[in-house]
């Protein structure tokens, strides 16, 4: 969805350049230069955009639900680790980039969804995603959000990143997390409480072409991901008037469960051992969250999370 909107915005920009409105394109490029750092400085959210009626229908299509398991004191800042990435990341967008789901359940907290910096280089599209509350996933951006002295900020990071989307097959419970410890270090440096979030149903929205590790397709996808910064899963779902093939996601319920916070004391220079200890605790809490709720959302009792 984001890719399609981005392509439309880029196409519109090209039309301005090639048409009789090239001066508008030049003015926008000047604006882009002056505004380049905004995605790393909290973005520029718009309550009007976040409250568009279309988002209500978007959430109801699947439908998307946000489940609260514990209070989050707005006097603190939080780092929410979102799992899994899936293909669309629908749960993250529907719950943290549109109102009122998060605002109603966690009053006093402002969520910021961190996404790949490359998206903010797309003309016009960057304005749209910032208005929805998305900001860069750079260290500078995360630090800006978590450095709020009065608390009340929640950084939402899709921990598995683009690489994890290649595992987004129906029924898959594999998370790319064992080597991802940067978010732990950021939480320690800012004293931000860690909150595991698991989105049940995220991997059920599309069917992906078989790409087991070691296959030629997976090797190509991984190489392209390293070069471009984002993955290219080959997926399909349903069409507008038929259910056999298309790019519209299946209507599968998504239940995004927000776990209990893990208190974190501020540590400007955490050691490797301290990072590893907190990372291990986070994995333990994430697994516990999954095990406590999996039976409610159709996960067989014998299935568990796989950490890679």
Tell me the pLDDT tens digit for each residue of 71-114.
999 999 999 999 999 998 999 999 999 999 999 999 999 999 99
CATH number of the domain that residue 194 is part of: 3.40.1130
62 and 22 fall within a common domain: no
* Same domain, yes or no: 10 and 120: no
Q: Identify whether residues 77 and 151 lie together within a single domain.
A: yes
Same domain, 128 and 267: yes
Report how far residue 167's alpha carbon sits from residue 40's, in angstroms, rounded to the nearest whole number.
Answer: 29
Residue 62 near residue 90, CB atoms below 8 Å: yes
Pairing between strand 110-115 and 134-136? parallel
Instruction: Say if CB 164 and CB 85 are below 8 A apart.
Output: yes
Which residues contact residue 48 at a Cβ distance below 8 angstroms, ignoring those fewer than 6 apart?
none
Same domain, 268 and 209: yes
239-272 pLDDT tens trace:
888 888 888 999 999 999 999 999 999 999 999 9
- Cα(17)–Cα(113) distance, rounded to whole angstroms? 31
* pLDDT reported for residue 26: 80
* Low pLDDT (below 50) residues in the chain: none
Distance CA 65, CA 200 (A): 10
Do residue 63 and residue 106 come from a single domain? Answer: yes
Domain check: are 151 and 269 in the same one?
yes
Residues 23 and 120 occupy one common structural domain: no
- DSSP labels, 276-299: HHHHHHHHHHHHHHHHHHGGGGT-
Instruction: Please check whether residues 113 and 31 belong to one and the same domain.
Output: no
Number of domains the chain contains: 2
Clarify whether residues 77 and 1 are in a common domain.
no
pTM (2 decimals)?
0.92
Residue 195 belongs to domain spanning? 40-307
254 and 280 share a domain? yes
The per-residue pLDDT for 127 is 92
Neighbours of 72 (CB within 10 A): 21
């Amino acid at each position: 969805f984001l890719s399609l909107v981005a392509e439309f915005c880029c196409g519109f920009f090209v039309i301005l350049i090639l048409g009789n409105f090239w001066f508008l394109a030049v003015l926008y490029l000047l604006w882009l230069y002056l505004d380049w750092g905004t995605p790393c400085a909290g973005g520029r959210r718009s309550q009007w955009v976040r409250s568009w009626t279309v988002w209500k229908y978007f959430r109801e299509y699947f439908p998307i639900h946000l489940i609260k398991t514990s209070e989050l004191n707005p006097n603190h800042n939080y780092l929410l680790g979102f799992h899994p990435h899936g293909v669309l990341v629908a749960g993250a967008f529907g719950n943290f980039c549109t109102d009122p789901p998060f605002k109603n359940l966690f009053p006093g907290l402002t969520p910021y969804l961190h996404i790949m910096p490359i998206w903010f280089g797309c003309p016009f599209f960057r304005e749209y995603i910032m208005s929805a509350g998305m900001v860069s996933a750079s260290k500078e951006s995360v630090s800006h959000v978590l450095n709020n002295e009065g608390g009340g900020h929640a950084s939402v990071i899709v921990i598995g990143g683009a690489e994890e989307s290649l595992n987004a097959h129906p029924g898959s419970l594999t998370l790319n997390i064992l080597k991802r410890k940067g978010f732990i270090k950021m939480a320690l440096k800012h004293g931000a409480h860690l909150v595991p979030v698991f989105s049940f149903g995220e991997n059920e929205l599309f069917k992906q072409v078989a790409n087991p590790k070691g296959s030629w397709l997976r090797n190509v996808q991984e190489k392209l991901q390293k070069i471009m910064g984002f993955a290219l899963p080959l997926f399909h779902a349903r069409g507008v008037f038929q259910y056999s093939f298309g790019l519209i996601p299946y209507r599968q319920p998504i239940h995004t469960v927000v776990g209990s916070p893990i208190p974190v004391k501020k540590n400007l220079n955490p050691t490797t051992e301290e990072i590893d200890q907190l990372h291990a605790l986070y994995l333990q809490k994430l697994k516990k969250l999954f095990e406590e709720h999996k039976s409610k959302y159709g996960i067989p009792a014998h299935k568990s999370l796989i950490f890679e």
